[in-house]
Chain A
Amino acid sequence: MYVLWRIIVKELLQLRQDKKMIPIIFVAPIVQLVIFGFAVNTDVTHVPMVLVDQDRTSASRALLDRFVESGYFDLVGSEETPDAVDAWLVGGRAQLGLVIAAGYAEADATGRPARVQLIADGSDAAPATVALGFGSAIVAREAGVRLAEYRRHVDAEGELPAVGLTDLRPRVFYNPDLRSRWFYVPAVLAMILMIMTMLLSAMAVVREKEIGTMEQIIVTPIAAWQLIVGKLFPFAAIGLIQVFLVTGVAVFGFGVPLRGSFLLLLLLTQLFVLNTLGLGLLVSTLVRTQQQAMMVAAFTMMLPMLYLSGLIFPIENMPHAIQTITYAIPLRYYANIIRGIFLRGSGIDVLWPEALTLLVMGLAILTLASLRFRKRLD
Chain B
Amino acid sequence: MALAVELHGLTKRFGAFVAVDGISLDVEEGEIFGFLGANGAGKSTTIRMLCGLLRPTAGTGRVLGIDVGREPEEVKRRIGYMSQRFSLYDDLTVRQNLRFYGGVYGLRGALQAEREAWAIETAGLAGKEDVLTRALAGGWKQRLALACAVLHRPRVVFLDEPTSGVDPLSRRRFWRLIDAMSEDGVTVFVTTHYLDEAEHCHRLALIHAGRLTALGTVDELKAVFATQAVLEVTAPRVAEALDLLASEPWVREVSAFGTRLHVVVENAEDGQRRILERLQATGNVPVRIDRIVPSLEDVFIHHVEAAGAEKRTVSA
Contact A219 B91 (CB under 8 A): no
Contact B100 A219 (CB under 8 A): no
Known: A7-B104, A10-B100. 14 other contacts (CB 8 A): A6-B100, A6-B104, A9-B100, A14-B92, A212-B83, A212-B84, A216-B81, A219-B51, A219-B52, A221-B76, A221-B77, A221-B104, A221-B105, A375-B73
Contact A219 B55 (CB under 8 A): no
- CA distance in complex: A377, B12 (Å): 13
Per the CB 8 Å criterion, the residue count for chain B at the interface is: 30
Any chain B CB within 8 A of the CB of A110? Answer: no
Q: Which residue of B lies closest to A18 (CB)?
A: B91
Q: Which residue of B lies closest to A222 (CB)?
A: B104
Any chain A CB within 8 A of the CB of B89? Answer: yes
Any chain A CB within 8 A of the CB of B48? Answer: yes
Q: Which residue of A lies closest to B77 (CB)?
A: A221
Do most interface residues of chain A lie in helix, strand or loop, or is the interface mixed?
A: helix
- CA distance in complex: A139, B34 (Å): 92
Instruction: Answer whether A215 and B104 are a contact pair too, CB < 8 Å, given A14-B91, A14-B92, A17-B92.
Output: no
- The interface centre, meaning the residue of B84, B85, B104 with most chain A CB atoms within 10 A of its CB, is B104
B166 shortest CB reach to chain A, Å: 17
5 closest A-B pairs by CB: A6-B103, A216-B87, A17-B91, A221-B77, A212-B85
Any chain A CB within 8 A of the CB of B72? Answer: yes
Contact B103 A215 (CB under 8 A): no
Contact A2 B52 (CB under 8 A): no
Contact B100 A215 (CB under 8 A): no
Any chain B CB within 8 A of the CB of A237? Answer: no
Any chain A CB within 8 A of the CB of B274? Answer: no
Contact A219 B103 (CB under 8 A): no
Q: Which residue of B lies closest to A218 (CB)?
A: B53
13 A-B pairs within 8 Å (CB atoms) are namely A6-B100, A10-B92, A14-B89, A17-B132, A211-B87, A212-B87, A215-B87, A216-B88, A219-B51, A219-B53, A219-B76, A219-B83, A221-B73
> Using a CB-CB cutoff of 8 Å, which residues 203-247 of chain A contact chain B?
211-213, 215-222
- CA distance in complex: A375, B79 (Å): 15
Q: Mark B148-175, 1 if CB is under 8 A from A, else 0.
A: 0000000000000000000000000000
* Chain B hits for A215, CB < 8 A: 53, 83, 87
Any chain B CB within 8 A of the CB of A13? Answer: yes
* Chain B hits for A218, CB < 8 A: 53
Contact A220 B72 (CB under 8 A): no
Any chain A CB within 8 A of the CB of B106? Answer: yes
Any chain B CB within 8 A of the CB of A349? Answer: no
Any chain A CB within 8 A of the CB of B96? Answer: yes
Q: Which of A14, A18, A376 contacts B54 (CB 8 A)?
A: A376
> Using a CB-CB cutoff of 8 Å, which residues 283-342 of chain A contact chain B?
none
- CA distance in complex: A220, B88 (Å): 13
Q: Which of B48, B55, B76, B89 contacts A220 (CB 8 A)?
A: B76
B59 shortest CB reach to chain A, Å: 16
- CA distance in complex: A10, B91 (Å): 10
A317 shortest CB reach to chain B, Å: 49
Q: Which of A14, A211, A376 contacts B72 (CB 8 A)?
A: A376
Any chain B CB within 8 A of the CB of A378? Answer: yes
